Structure 1
């Protein structure tokens, strides 16, 4: 009888422990580790722009830039999904994991990369039209001379993307129809009906060949899905591999649009899964000296 009670007690204890959140599932620990991951991919993506992080006395996290500007990471304001687009901080922009897998229809419920932290973009690429235009340069690519922002290696990433895209056309000539004519890159303008600057205003986005089914305000999801289904997956992959997010992976789809957001791609590449027990928060990133240095900085501050 005692053995039966002992066995039953242990079974009950095991079941209770199984439903108690682990330390890694605790809200504060999960938030902290997610912050660390975000800071790591940001410092990996912008090594010549971000030099350090700072934690204020009231717990706010700031990025310290090489130009001595200080940008808040998380304003800690409660926001709905629309406010996370219209008034995003850096944490908001990295909250939703961008899907690196190929898709064949409009995604539901997510717009990863559509929200932009404008204070951060201003510091990296220029905070006024005149400052942005000083950072623009023409890049000679296999698809022509293209104007793009030279900061944060955005222009270099575009050149590599277009050169690789042109190589794809050698094997499949139909891909030319999705690239040419290129619809545009730099254009200092706001997004219609929003008052917010377009990514094109910073010179960090390119629109490839336009199709009438490319934009969520032009057609319904069924027509958008048909366009996505036929869109060359290898063309999308070329841009993603070089740090661009594709507007075709937004619920509010913008299929001709590619935008340089290397931190979002790195977050998806290395941290798409939830942190597992027994693993370090940085597990998955390349084990090199520069990444170790960044990890040490983050661990020392947090």
Structure 2
């Protein structure tokens, strides 16, 4: 009797987890998507296809109802595993939905973000490996010199974007000495290592992150919340804008602040531009993206055909 009760409880918990992420489970164990959830999913998939146009080839819906992005290699990456997770679980074992759930703010900020608001800090490593290299050797073959000996990944236009940023920073520094002081000396780009205290690879391992000049108030593990607030308040607003205009996110917009850190994450910036909070209510679901662009129009068609 106890065993039957345990099994019954497990089934109830399983169904609850599915429903918690906007889903309903039908009698044949397939998944029926809530319309608002479906809209957000389509938008997320479009951000991914726009952010990685040479690496994501399609979207597929399996018989179970689960949605996958199909990579150029033929490998598939799950959009949503339907598991309800806390923030630590999302960091350790995320899916694409977890990664894109929080919308990065493009507006300027004057203080540290609210607790556990860390858009872009969650990374799906299967995606990064597909795009930037499956191992250290592959990644290093893709590295190019951006400027002043700094190595950055050439895949997905990452290095090209950093080259443009450094040129724009050079122009900015002519009229903004404060910005220059926050840039140099640069702390580094490519460094194959894990994030301290975790087993997860740093984005520096993929050659898609740059740390600028360091300040004792820059990092949440070094500095107090008060120090972080002070540093962000004083930080030149123009500097994050230069990076964001080139598809980099800023670690200063994380509650676990990392103010010297910038990371190439086109999918996060694209979502921030086109699909902010409340975007599940827009019509059509793809909003104001440039549908005259053939790749974008094709991506919309692919997503509609797969998701419905």
CA contact (8 A) 2:210 2:263 kept: yes
Alignment of 1:200-219 (within 5 A): 200-219=204-223
Most deviating of 65-74 and 37-46: 65-74
Unaligned runs of 5+ in 2: 1-31
Of residues 193, 197, 215 in structure 2, which corresponds to 1:189? 193
- Contact 1:113–1:264 at 8 Å: present in 2 too? yes
Residue 33 of structure 1 pairs with residue 31 of structure 2: no
Query: Aligned partners of 2:194, 2:282: CA distance in 1, in Å?
Result: 46
Contact 1:271 1:284 in 2 (8 A): no
Partner of 1:131: 138
Mapped partners of 1:38, 1:259: distance in 2: 19
1:96-175 → structure 2 map (5 Å cutoff): 96-109=102-115, 110-139=117-146, 141=147, 144-175=148-179
TM-score (ref. length: structure 1)? 0.88
Deviation string, structure 1 residues 22-42 (Cα, Å, up to 9, x no partner): xxxx97001111110001011
Distance 1:41 1:196 in 2: 24
SS at match of 1:35: helix
CA contact (8 A) 1:215 1:253 kept: yes
Q: Could you say if the C-alpha distance between residues 278 and 199 of structure 1 is closer, same or farther in structure 2, counting changes exceeding 3 Å?
A: closer
Counterpart in the other structure of 2:302 = 297
Q: Which residue of 2 aligns with 1:22?
A: none
* Conservation of the 8 A alpha-carbon contact between 1:208 and 1:256: yes
Give the deviation of 1:251 after TM superposition.
Answer: 0.3
Structure 2 distance, partners of 1:66, 1:127, is 13
Alignment RMSD: 1.5
CA distance 1:27–1:301, shift in 2 (3 Å): closer
**Structure 1's 41 and 278: CA in aligned 2 closer, same or farther, altered over 3 A?**
closer
**Higher Cα Rg, which structure:** 1
Q: What displacement does 1:277 show?
A: 5.0
Kindly state the Cα deviation for residue 125 of structure 1 after the two structures are TM-superposed.
0.8
Partners of 2:128 and 2:172 lie apart in 1 by 31
2:70 is paired with a residue whose SS is strand
Following TM superposition, by how much is the alpha carbon of 1:59 offset from its aligned partner in structure 2, in angstroms?
A: 1.3
TM-score, normalized by length of structure 2? 0.86
Work out the CA distance in 1 between the residues paired with 2:283 and 2:141: 45
Tell me the CA shift for residue 276 of structure 1. 6.3
Does the CA-based 8 Å contact 1:113-1:245 persist in structure 2? yes
